Amino acid sequence: MINNLMSKKSLTTGKIKLHILNLGECSKCSLALTSFLLHKKENGFKNISQTNNPEDCNCLIITGCLLKIHREKLLETWQSIKKNHIIISFGDCGTEKQKIFNVEGQNFKNLTIDSEDLSEIIPIDYIIEGCPPDEENVKKIFQEILGQKV
């Protein structure tokens, strides 16, 4: 399921430069993203590339749940993005549906959840729900971001 927050935001450049920030997830989302990126050209997404530098990106994808030890890294990454950008929360871990590290009655100090929803910390433009998100929904969100007909 795709959850659009606020108004639908698209990129006027027609190109997406992704930066992926993994806050700690079970690897299902990483595998889903890798599969999408490996097949991007055959699915009509020749204009998507990846960068290791958040300053160069115009689309930040966040996977995993926000642990206390990652809060500073999340804010630092978000603040370093200089261009018009879109932020995607990828998978259930960035929402109140998150599952990992949610151990009832346990206190893991720095491994405890900082927030149950990333949108409480930074502005999120899109949430792609699922554990992991369905590839069709991933395609739809990128079509929408690029202003393509869905």
Q: pLDDT truncated to tens, each residue of the chain (150 aa)? A: 445 444 456 665 688 999 999 987 778 999 999 999 999 989 889 899 999 999 999 999 999 887 778 889 999 999 999 878 999 999 988 776 665 554 555 555 555 666 667 888 899 999 999 989 999 999 999 998 888 765
Distance CA 23, CA 136 (A): 24
Contact in structure between 87 and 62 (CB atoms under 8 Å): yes
- pLDDT computed for residue 23 by the predictor: 86
Contact in structure between 77 and 34 (CB atoms under 8 Å): no
Question: Which pTM value belongs to this model?
Answer: 0.83
Of the candidates 125, 69, 133, the residue with the CA atom closest to the CA atom of residue 101: 69
Q: Is the dihedral of CA 138, 144, 147, 150 positive or negative?
A: positive
Contact in structure between 65 and 114 (CB atoms under 8 Å): no
Domain ranges of the chain: 2-145
The verdict on domain 2-145 having CATH code 3.40.220.10 is no
- pLDDT computed for residue 34 by the predictor: 93
Of the candidates 58, 83, 87, 84, the residue with the CA atom closest to the CA atom of residue 75: 87
